[in-house]
Amino acid sequence: MEVLKIILTIIFILIGLALTVIILMQEGKSAGLGAISGAADTYWGKNKGRSMEGMLVKITRILVVGFLLLAVVLNLGIF
């Protein structure tokens, strides 16, 4: 069981590092302030889910769920 705990801890650390990098790669919310002046109807505004930014958001959500689940599992003390 100790080997499994070590493996889960390493995965936990790697997910944390990946989250840090992916979050830093994303644009800030202030970059979307063009919507106030009506500039939201651009190509990138309409297809945000298919763009690189949309993909980074999806990956971030998946990694956050994995990070939280591993945090709970490692904190339960089963191992």
Tens of pLDDT, residue by residue over 14-70, are: 999 999 999 999 987 665 555 555 555 555 555 666 788 889 999 999 999 999 999
Burial of 24 from C-beta contacts in 10 A (0-12 / 13-18 / 19+): exposed
